[in-house]
Structure 1
Amino acid sequence: MYRFLLTPRWWGINVFVVLAIPFCLFMGSWQLGRFEDRVDDHRSATERTAAEDRAEARPLAELLPVTKETSGERVSATGRYAEQFLVPDRTLDGKRGHYVLGMLRIEGGPALPVVRGWRPGAADPAGVPAPPAGEVTVTGALQGSESPGSDGARTAGGLPPGQVGMISAATLVNLVPYEVQGAWVTLDPADDGMTAVPAAAPQNTGLDLKAFQNLGYTGEWFVFSGFVLFMWFRLLRREVEAARDVELGLAPAAGPDPEAPVEGSGTRPVDQEAGKAPV
């Protein structure tokens, strides 16, 4: 009854199943591992932030370039403020507002973008406090450059002069006549009564939408493996039932029609009613 398993068709089906199920399980395990990595990164970042709130600030040069481990650490830098920009459409504690971004010129190195604080309302330069004059030392949380996909970040197209859509060296270098650092700092405490901007989690870390996408993909791959196994059993059951029907005479055996003429044999079908070959 199970001789059909040795046919070329079923050899192909069996090979596909043997390869597909481990592949689906591997991909599901890989996606689950990525989700667990994000959970671990989120936990580590939370613990590190709590520890950094009590830690002393370190010199900027010791923490560059920004990585997942150095992002959010307290840093200090000394220089003089130059140009100042506003970063619109930034939300803090559920309220819409804007960042006040100052360019700190550091002797012997690129300028450091510094978020001096957050202000509520539209990004209007009127009433924005001017940066301190002379040499200053700033202290705050170190951040990596934003990408267009970051929360609140957008391209600079259509913005009025004095505003930038996102904080990145690629954007700012087109607005100032000097080199810009590929990182930025958010002051804590903020300047001139503004609200301090908390450090954001590094990209591709934390329990964000991408993390739960990984968890969803995990379930999909495991469902795929179960679907492959289900379809194999369904095909097997149908073949077994068909073979049983043939044995019981409930269905004709698969094969050529015995009344059909054989090609090249020179024979013709016999006229059953006349008992002779048709003319």
Structure 2
Amino acid sequence: MYRFLLTPRWWGINVFVLLAIPFCVFMGSWQLSRFEDRVQDHRDATEQISADRHETARPLREMLPVDKSTSGRQITATGRYGKQLLVPDRQLDGRNGYYVLTLLRTDGGKALPVVRGWLPGSADAAKAPAAPTGEVTVTGALQASETPGDNGVSAQGGLPDGQTAAISAASLVNLVPYDVYDAWVTLGKADAGMKAVPATAPADSGLDLKAFQNLGYTGEWFVFAGFVVFMWFRLLRREVEFARDAEMGLVTEEEPVSATSSSGV
């Protein structure tokens, strides 16, 4: 009854199944490992941010460019505050509000974007406290430039004068008359009654959309492996039923492909 397993067609089916199942399991395991790596990166980044709050601040120039090893580290910079901008639609403690962003003109001539704090409600320049005058030294967590559309950063355009959707050199270059560092700083202690904005983990180190895509792909590959096994058993069962019926003379002996195809497979 099982002699059909020795036919060329079933040799091809069996070889396909024997190759497809390990491949699907391998790809599912690889995607799962990618998800686990991102979970570990998120855990490490969170622990690093907590540890960075207590470290001694280092000069800004020693921590550039910003990467995974320097993002969230405490830095110090000296200069004079210049143009002030508002960054609307920023969440903090479950409430909507805005960042108060002020450009710090350093001794080198370039400006460092400094988030001096967060205020609730709609962006209102009249409510944003003015920056201190004279030379100041700021200390805060170093952050990489934001990318509009990523990690909840708005890609909205056409904002009123004095507002920016993203904190990045590319977004600020047309809003201020001087060069801007490709980084920004959030103060550990906010100015003038505002709430401090906590540092965030660097890009690609959190449980973002990419991480959950990896988890979704993991499930898909394992489902594919199960589907291959299911279809193999289904074909086998139909082939056995056809062979049994042929032995009993209930059907005409013919190519099994016709029998399986006529059954809707």
Shared fold (TM-score, shorter chain, > 0.5):
yes
1:90 is aligned to: 90
The runs of at least 4 aligned residues of structure 1 exceeding 4 Å deviation read none
Secondary structure, in 3 states, of the residue corresponding to 1:132? coil
Q: Which moved more, 1:179-188 or 1:41-50?
A: 41-50
1:258 is aligned to: none
Instruction: Quote the Cα distance in structure 1 between the aligned partners of 2:106 and 2:98.
Output: 25
Q: Which moved more, 1:79-88 or 1:206-215?
A: 206-215
Instruction: Quote the Cα distance in structure 2 between the aligned partners of 1:128 and 1:237.
Output: 74
Which has the larger Rg?
A: 1
Q: Specify every segment of 5 or more residues in structure 2 that has no aligned partner in the other structure, as ranges.
A: 256-265
Please state how far the C-alpha of 1:8 moved relative to its aligned partner.
3.5
C-alpha contact (below 8 Å) 1:156/1:166 kept by paired residues: no
Please state how far the C-alpha of 1:246 moved relative to its aligned partner.
1.5
1:127 is aligned to: 127
C-alpha contact (below 8 Å) 1:89/1:152 kept by paired residues: no
Instruction: Quote the Cα distance in structure 2 between the aligned partners of 1:185 and 1:245.
Output: 78
Letter in 1 for 2:32: L
Please state how far the C-alpha of 1:145 moved relative to its aligned partner.
1.2
1:172 is aligned to: 172
% identical equivalent positions: 71
2:104 is aligned to: 104
2:233 is aligned to: 233
Please state how far the C-alpha of 1:126 moved relative to its aligned partner.
0.7
Instruction: Quote the Cα distance in structure 2 between the aligned partners of 1:126 and 1:21.
Output: 64
C-alpha contact (below 8 Å) 2:151/2:208 kept by paired residues: no
Instruction: Quote the Cα distance in structure 2 between the aligned partners of 1:246 and 1:109.
Output: 90
Instruction: Quote the Cα distance in structure 1 between the aligned partners of 2:21 and 2:37.
Output: 24
Query: Structure 2 vs 1, CA of residues 93 and 136 (structure 1 numbering), >3 Å: closer, same or farther?
Result: same
Please state how far the C-alpha of 1:177 moved relative to its aligned partner.
2.2
RMSD: 1.8
Instruction: Quote the Cα distance in structure 2 between the aligned partners of 1:161 and 1:152.
Output: 22
Please state how far the C-alpha of 1:152 moved relative to its aligned partner.
4.2
Instruction: Quote the Cα distance in structure 2 between the aligned partners of 1:156 and 1:199.
Output: 23
Secondary structure, in 3 states, of the residue corresponding to 1:115? strand
- Encode CA deviations 1:200-252: one digit per residue, 9 max, x unaligned: 12222223444233223212211110110111111112112212221232221
Query: Structure 2 vs 1, CA of residues 185 and 215 (structure 1 numbering), >3 Å: closer, same or farther?
Result: same
1:158 is aligned to: 158
Letter in 1 for 2:247: E
The number of aligned residues is 255
2:216 is aligned to: 216
- Encode CA deviations 1:185-206: one digit per residue, 9 max, x unaligned: 0011011221100011222222
Instruction: Quote the Cα distance in structure 1 between the aligned partners of 2:233 and 2:109.
Output: 68
1:188 is aligned to: 188
2:51 is aligned to: 51
TM-score, normalised relative to structure 2: 0.89
Instruction: Quote the Cα distance in structure 2 between the aligned partners of 1:60 and 1:247.
Output: 85
Q: Specify every segment of 5 or more residues in structure 1 that has no aligned partner in the other structure, as ranges.
A: 256-279
Instruction: Quote the Cα distance in structure 2 between the aligned partners of 1:32 and 1:251.
Output: 48
Q: Which moved more, 1:90-99 or 1:245-254?
A: 245-254
Please state how far the C-alpha of 1:46 moved relative to its aligned partner.
2.2
Instruction: Quote the Cα distance in structure 1 between the aligned partners of 2:208 and 2:241.
Output: 50
C-alpha contact (below 8 Å) 2:141/2:188 kept by paired residues: yes
